[in-house]
Every structure is written in C-alpha cells, then in structure tokens.
Amino acid sequence: MTSSARPYLNRRLAEFGTTIFAEMSALAVTTGAINLGQGFPDTDGPEEIREAAVRALRDGRGNQYPPGPGIPELRNAIAAHQQHRYGLTYDPDTEVLVTAGATEAIAATLLALLEPGDEVVALEPYYDSYAASIAMAGGRRVPVTLRPDAGRFTLDLDELRAAVTDRTRLLLINTPHNPTGTVLTRAELAAIAELAVERDLLVVTDEVYEHLVFDDAEHIPLATFPGMRERTVTIGSAGKTYSFTGWKVGWVTAAPELVSAVRSAKQYLTFVSAGPFQYAVAEALALPDTYYDDFRRAMATRRDLLATGLTEAGFDVFRPAGTYFVTADIRPLGEKDGFAFCRALPERAGVVAIPNAVFYDDREAGAPFVRFAFCKKEEVLEEAVTRLRAL
Ligand SMILES: *Cc1c(COP(=O)(O)O)cnc(C)c1O
C-alpha cells in the first residue's frame, strides 16, 4: 500500500509518518502553550560536565573521528559504572560499545540480531522508536500490553509467556518504562529472566531511566539475573541521566559476541559520533553517588507537583515509580479519546500533552491515556497545573 501523502516512502516505513511530537510541539508554538509533550529537560545538566565538553573541544579531543567502539575513557567509565552500581563486570574493550544515543543502540541491535520475519516481543505501550526499528530490521512486533491495575500499569506474566512462539527471536524490555512510569519489580524481572532462559531468547533491555526511580522503587538490571548476562543487551544513555539529551551519547553493554554483532550494524549507521561529548560523559559517569541522589530527589519533587496537580484537575493519575512522565486517564473528565483531547488541550488550557495511543498497536487500549512530562522547572509545572485546574 502506498500513501499518497508520502509516495516515495517504502512499505516497511509506510505506517510511520511524522511523529506526534512534531505535531504537538508545533501546536505549542502556535498557541503559546506550555509544552509537556516531549521529554527533554528545560535546564541543562551539571555545569562542570558542560565545561568538560567545552574543554575537550578546545583541547582538540574528539574533534576528529573517535575510535569506532567509543573512546577508551568512556568505555572504561561505562564499565566502572555498571560495576559500581550493579556489580556487573564488563570488559571495556570487548563488551562495551558507545552509540549515537540509545536510539542508535536500539536500531543497531535490532538490525544486527533480527532475521526478516523474526518476532520481537515488546511491552506495549512502546517507546516510539521500537516499532520503527523493528520494521527497518524486517522483524515483526508482538505486543504484550501493560494494563492498569491498582494504580500501576502492570505486566501480565501469563500474557508474556503466551506471546513467545518458535519465531520469537528476542524480548525487548524497557524499565523504568516510558510512557507509563512502571518500574518492573524484582519478581517480574525474575519471571522474564526465567522465560528467556527456558525459551533460549535474547533480551534487549532499554534502561535509559535507570537513575530515575522514586520512593522505594529499585532499578535492577535484567543482566544481573541468573543466566541473563550472556543473553542480554543492556542499553544506557547519558541524555536522561545527566540532562544533556542533545548530546546523544548512548551505549550497549553485553557479551563480546553480541557487542561485536551490534558494532557491525552500528559502523554503517553513524560509524562514530559526539567526539568531544564522549569525554564529557566519561567525566559525568564518574560523578559521586550524591549526584544521583540529588537528581532523583529533585525529579521526585517535580513528579509530585505534576501528579498532585493533575489529580486536583480531575484526572485519574498513575503515579510513576520512575522516568520523566506521568500517564493520566482522561475519563473522569468526561473524555475518552486522547487524540482529540490532546489536540484541543493547547487551546482549552494552554498545555501540551501526548496521547498514549501513539505508543500502542492496540489503539483502543491506549485511547483514554495521555502523557505529561515533568522534567521541567518547578515554576513551569506550577503554571501548567494552574492552567489545567481550570479544565
Ligand atoms: C529518550 C529515550 C530513548 C532515547 O535515548 P537517546 O539517548 O536520546 O537516543 C530511548 N528509550 C527510551 C525509553 C527513552 O525514553
């Protein structure tokens, strides 16, 4: 089927038009609405890390092609971080690969590991690049839908088991989960790990929000579970953790054979990227634990501000255990179509949100949910909440 609007776009990508973020950000501009759509901070990360990037650039470090796998300083720092935080040991030379953000890590991993027609079981709602990357790799996505249950979007482990077939090549997991804010528990992760081992599956796990967990939620990397280290590709990124989303420095940690496969695909995508930023991110990864504690505390305050405000405005709020986002149910406001709601919201209330349905194959399941980002200044969130209370 060809789309008349995009006559040249191939069949693999035909269903992926321009992203909702472009449409909603344009609406924010024309209406002057507060943009809580896209998940990027409105404040840069630590000054000393920004200065480290300036210094690298001035000193001529990284201004020419860095090494294909990433500069040794950064690979060492990534390995040290996995060791220090999680007790996971990776060889910086053979088990770490620096990528152009987590986005390229996801694309390269799927391009490297999938044969055409292979099935990828992924948690729905999906982060938006998953479906497109699976499609570009010729794979087939098989969603397992997280369903609202007691204030949390919950994984049904029986549904997950049932989704695995003889054609399943890998499980694509994301925890802390965007857009729902769910952080998978130790028991849920253990069950995923058991299934992967039992069915001999590879697991790709997107852990870009590893440091953004709140209250007593704990991020536990899937690679730490029995039998998982050798079958898991773990994806991380500096963007969300250090509030430099524009730098696009991400990474993969995995067994040598897996890293080698991913590197084969990655070298023909970007080859390398972000030279001077790699030096700065190496310094960021060496920040003391207090950095993460302070960051988490500041973000938890913002989450509370937004979640409470949305509740007072009449939404049914899923208080996130992690990430940048609050998902809210619009039905208590007498609405049921998140698309229509989000298209009207800038005019009605001067705030931009994203309809979660864009993250679903099962649009019906996602219809009543909308996503607001809280990685914004407190005064911005306060103003947004004041506007939304007028709904
Ligand atoms: C933001 C985000 C990414 C992309 O990270 P980059 O490093 O900016 O490419 C990947 N996965 C999830 C779940 C995200 O929210």
Q: Rounded mean pLDDT of 382-390?
A: 96
Q: How far is the CA of 240 from the centre of ligand 1 (A)?
A: 8
- How far is the centre of ligand 1, averaged over its atoms, from the C-alpha of 310 (Å)? 25
Query: What is the pLDDT, as a whole number, of residue 20?
Result: 84
Instruction: Find the angle CA(198)-CA(162)-CA(122) to the nearest 5 degrees.
Output: 85
Mutate to test the pocket of ligand 1, among 133, 178, 375 (most ligand atoms within 8 A of CB): 178
pLDDT, tens digit (0-9, with 9 covering 90-100), for 136-170: 999 999 999 999 999 999 999 999 999 999 999 99
pLDDT band at 2 (very low <50, low <70, confident <90, very high): very low
Q: Is the peptide bond before 176 cis (omega within 30 degrees of 0)?
A: yes
202-206 vs 232-237, strand pairing mode: parallel
Enter the tokens of residue 214: 């709140």
Q: How far apart are CA 193 and CA 221, in angstroms?
A: 11
Ligand 1 centroid distance, CA of 391 (Å): 31
**Residue 4: what pLDDT?**
59
- Reported as a pLDDT band with limits 50, 70 and 90, residue 179 is very high
Pocket of ligand 1 (CB under 6 A): 101-103, 127, 174, 178, 206, 208, 237, 239-240, 245, 248, 250
State the Cα–Cα distance between residues 181 and 200, nearest whole angstrom.
28
Pocket perturbation via mutation, ligand 1, pick of 240, 249, 277, 356 by most ligand atoms within 8 A of CB: 240
Q: Name which residue sits closest to atom 15 of ligand 1, judged by CA.
A: 178
Q: 127 C-alpha to center of ligand 1: Å?
A: 8
Q: Quickly tell me which residue has 């130790």 as its tokens.
A: 186
Q: Which atom in ligand 1 lies closest to the alpha carbon of residue 100? A: 9
Closest residue to atom 10 of ligand 1, CA basis: 102
Q: What are phi and psi of 41, to 5 degrees?
A: -70, 150
**Contact 127/206 with Cβ under 8 angstroms?**
yes
Q: Is the pLDDT of residue 1 over 50?
A: no
Q: Which residue has the tokens 């992926």?
A: 16
Distance from Cα 39 to the centre of ligand 1, integer Å: 9
Beta strand pairing call for 369-373 and 354-355: antiparallel
